[in-house]
Amino acid sequence: MNAADSSNMQARTDALRAANRRTGLALMSVAGVFFLGIVMKYWLLG
């Protein structure tokens, strides 16, 4: 493996990490909104 392959692999790894972070944030936001909806339901409707 030469330096060009190593830098290309690092770029793909960085891109994968960024994509995983975006996916994680999207899933956390969906879970957070779902949780807040349940809390608000019980708070408003008792």
Alpha-carbon distance of 6 to 33, in angstroms, equals 41
**Among the listed residues 14, 32, 13, the one whose alpha carbon sits nearest the alpha carbon of residue 24:** 32
Alpha-carbon distance of 44 to 23, in angstroms, equals 31
Task: Look up tokens 């030469």; give the residue.
Answer: 2
Alpha-carbon distance of 41 to 4, in angstroms, equals 55
- Given this model, what pLDDT does residue 42 score? 94
Positions in the chain whose pLDDT score sits under 50: none
- Given this model, what pLDDT does residue 7 score? 77
- Given this model, what pLDDT does residue 10 score? 85
pTM: 0.70
- CA atoms within 13 Å, Cβ hemisphere of 15: 6
